[in-house]
Chain A
C-alpha cells in the first residue's frame, strides 16, 4: 500500500511533470493566462492520462515493441476525442479558451512519456495511480502558474467562475505583460527555480534520464566522453 501511495504522490512535487520533468511546456505556457484555463487544461489532461495509462498497461503484452509509439498515439487520440466532445458539450467557454490546445493533448509529451516510461512496464492499478498523480501535478502546476499570471496580469482570480475574486481594488493597474507570452515564460521560470530551491535540486534522479535511452546519444558529446 505504501508503494501505491508513493506512485500517486510522486507526480505532485518530486517528479512534477511540468516543473521538474519539464514535459508539456507548450500547453503550460499557452493555457495559463487565467487560473480557470489552467485548471481546465489540467483536468482534461488528467482524465486522458488516467484512461490512456489504464488502456496501455492492459494492452502492453499485445502491442508489438517496434510500433508501440503509433499504437500509444491511437489509444491517446481516442480518449482525447472523447474528452474534447465532453468539454464542447458541457463547458463551451472552456472549449473556446483552450482552443486548439484541447485536441493537442494528443501530442502532449506528459501522456506519451508516462505511457512509455510507466504504463508499458507496470500493471493497470499502478498505471492509473501514476496517471492520477502526474495529472494532479500537472493540474496543480498549471493552476498555480495561471493564478499568479491572472492576479498580477489582470487583477482577478478565477474569473469566469462563481468563485471569482476581484482584486482590481488593490491592484488598480495590473501589469498586463503577465497575461502575455513573456509573462508566461517568466512565471514558469520562477516556479521551476522555486521547486528547485524547495527540493534542493534533488527532485529528479539522474539515472532515470541517462544517456543510454536518449535518441540523441550518438550525436551528443556525452557518448564521446563529453559532459
Chain B
C-alpha cells in the first residue's frame, strides 16, 4: 500500500519546471547563435559544436559510471556546457583540443566538485580559460568568415577588439558587427542571434535580466567614459554570449537581486579593465570567472533579512 501522506519540510508547492526543461530552453535559446555560427564559419563550426557536445556528454556519463554515481546525462546540463564551450572556441581549433576542453569542463570543474549544482565556477568558461592559457596560439587564431564554403580562409581575421587595441586594420561596419561577419569565436560574432536567445530566456523567466543588463550597461558606460567607441565594445567580443548565457548560470551567480546587480557591475568593470589596460584583447571570460569565485561572498553580504528574524 503506497503512502498517500508525505511528511516533508517545505517546499510543498511543486512546479513542472525541471532541470531538464530549463536546460532544454537554454539549448533552444542558443539555437539561433548555433545556426549563425555554422552559416558564418562553415562546416568546421558544426564539427566543433558536435565534438564539444559529444565529449561533454560522454565525459559526464563515463565519470559517473566509474564513480558509481547516478547518471545525470539526461538533465541536458552537459549538452548546455558543450554548446557554450563550443561557442567560445575559434572555428580553426583542432578538434582534440575542443575535446580536452570538454573533459576539463565536465570532469575537473563540474564532477570533481560534486556534479551539477556544486561547481564553484562555470564549467564552460573555466575550460575556455584553461584552453586559452594552454594553447594560446591556436586559441587566438581567428578565422575570417567564409560564408558556408567548406574551404577555410587561412588568413587570420583579427577580432574587432584586437583591431581596436592594435589599430592598423579597418573595423567592420556596424551592420557587419550585428550580423557577425567578422573574426571571432563561433558564438560571439552574431550579436543579433545572441540577443534573440537572451531575450527568449528572459521572456521565459529562465534568467533574470539583472545580470545581463548591468553587465552590458557597465561596459557601455565605462568604455564611453574612457573615450572608446561603446557600441563596438558591447557588440565585439564575447560580451553578449557571456552576459546572457554564462554570467547567468544559476550555480555560480548570486541568488538575490542586489547580489546579481553587484555581480553584473563587477563583471563589467573587470571586463573593461582587461580590455583597455591588460595584455589580452578580451576579458569577458576572466571577468566572469573572477566574479564566480567571489559569488559566495556576495551572497553572504546581500542575504535577505528574514521578517522578524534574529539578524
5 of the cross-chain contacts (CB-CB < 8 Å) are A175-B134, A176-B133, A178-B134, A180-B133, A186-B108
Q: Is B100 an interface residue (CB 8 A)?
A: yes
Q: Is B130 an interface residue (CB 8 A)?
A: yes
Question: Inside 8 A of A186's CB, which chain B residues have their CB?
Answer: 108
Quick one: CB contact mask for B65-99 with A, threshold 8 Å, 1 for yes?
00000000000000000000000000000100100
B100's closest neighbor in chain A, by CB? Answer: A175
**When the two chains form their complex, are residues B108 and A177 in contact, meaning their CB atoms are under 8 A apart?**
no
**When the two chains form their complex, are residues A177 and B138 in contact, meaning their CB atoms are under 8 A apart?**
no
In the complex the two chains form, what is the Cα distance from A178 to B108 in whole Å? 14
A193's closest neighbor in chain B, by CB? Answer: B112
**When the two chains form their complex, are residues A182 and B133 in contact, meaning their CB atoms are under 8 A apart?**
yes
Q: Which of B4-44 contact A (CB under 8 A)?
A: none
B138's closest neighbor in chain A, by CB? Answer: A173
Q: What's the dominant secondary structure at chain B's contact region?
A: helix
In the complex the two chains form, what is the Cα distance from A182 to B100 in whole Å? 16
B126's closest neighbor in chain A, by CB? Answer: A182
Q: Is B250 an interface residue (CB 8 A)?
A: no
In the complex the two chains form, what is the Cα distance from A178 to B135 in whole Å? 11
In the complex the two chains form, what is the Cα distance from A173 to B136 in whole Å? 11
Q: Which of A127-169 contact B (CB under 8 A)?
A: none
B135's closest neighbor in chain A, by CB? Answer: A173
Question: Inside 8 A of B133's CB, which chain A residues have their CB?
Answer: 176-177, 180, 182
Question: Inside 8 A of B134's CB, which chain A residues have their CB?
Answer: 175-178
Question: Inside 8 A of A175's CB, which chain B residues have their CB?
Answer: 100, 134-135
B96's closest neighbor in chain A, by CB? Answer: A173
Find the residue from A177, A182, A186 having the highest chain B CB count within 10 A: A177
Task: State the interface size on chain A (CB cutoff 8 A).
Answer: 8
Q: Write the nearest CB–CB distance from B102 to chain A, whole angstroms.
A: 14
A177's closest neighbor in chain B, by CB? Answer: B134
Q: Write the nearest CB–CB distance from A187 to chain B, whole angstroms.
A: 12
In the complex the two chains form, what is the Cα distance from A175 to B96 in whole Å? 12
Q: Which of B104-154 contact A (CB under 8 A)?
A: 108, 130, 133-136, 138
Find the residue from B97, B100, B133, B138 having the highest chain A CB count within 10 A: B133
Q: Which of A46-80 contact B (CB under 8 A)?
A: none
Find the residue from B100, B108, B134 having the highest chain A CB count within 10 A: B134
In the complex the two chains form, what is the Cα distance from A186 to B108 in whole Å? 9
Q: Write the nearest CB–CB distance from A33 to chain B, whole angstroms.
A: 14
In the complex the two chains form, what is the Cα distance from A182 to B97 in whole Å? 18
Q: Which of B200-259 contact A (CB under 8 A)?
A: none
In the complex the two chains form, what is the Cα distance from A178 to B134 in whole Å? 8
A153's closest neighbor in chain B, by CB? Answer: B134
Question: Inside 8 A of B135's CB, which chain A residues have their CB?
Answer: 173, 175-176
Quick one: CB contact mask for B265-304 with A, threshold 8 Å, 1 for yes?
0000000000000000000000000000000000000000
In the complex the two chains form, what is the Cα distance from A173 to B141 in whole Å? 15
Find the residue from A173, A182, A186 having the highest chain B CB count within 10 A: A173
Q: Write the nearest CB–CB distance from A116 to chain B, whole angstroms.
A: 34
Q: Identify 13 new A-B residue pairs, CB closer than 8 A, beyond the known A175-B100, A180-B133.
A: A173-B94, A173-B97, A173-B138, A175-B134, A175-B135, A176-B134, A176-B135, A176-B136, A177-B133, A178-B134, A182-B130, A182-B133, A186-B108
Question: Inside 8 A of B108's CB, which chain A residues have their CB?
Answer: 186
In the complex the two chains form, what is the Cα distance from A9 to B130 in whole Å? 38
Question: Inside 8 A of B100's CB, which chain A residues have their CB?
Answer: 175
Q: Which of A174-193 contact B (CB under 8 A)?
A: 175-178, 180, 182, 186
In the complex the two chains form, what is the Cα distance from A202 to B90 in whole Å? 47
In the complex the two chains form, what is the Cα distance from A163 to B100 in whole Å? 30
Q: Write the nearest CB–CB distance from B200 to chain A, whole angstroms.
A: 35
In the complex the two chains form, what is the Cα distance from A172 to B135 in whole Å? 11
In the complex the two chains form, what is the Cα distance from A182 to B289 in whole Å? 14
Q: Write the nearest CB–CB distance from A40 to chain B, whole angstroms.
A: 26
In the complex the two chains form, what is the Cα distance from A163 to B20 in whole Å? 54
Question: Inside 8 A of B136's CB, which chain A residues have their CB?
Answer: 176
In the complex the two chains form, what is the Cα distance from A173 to B134 in whole Å? 9
Q: Write the nearest CB–CB distance from A174 to chain B, whole angstroms.
A: 8
In the complex the two chains form, what is the Cα distance from A182 to B108 in whole Å? 12
In the complex the two chains form, what is the Cα distance from A180 to B138 in whole Å? 18
In the complex the two chains form, what is the Cα distance from A175 to B127 in whole Å? 13
Question: Inside 8 A of A177's CB, which chain B residues have their CB?
Answer: 130, 133-134
In the complex the two chains form, what is the Cα distance from A176 to B94 in whole Å? 16
Q: Write the nearest CB–CB distance from B114 to chain A, whole angstroms.
A: 14
Q: Write the nearest CB–CB distance from B286 to chain A, whole angstroms.
A: 13
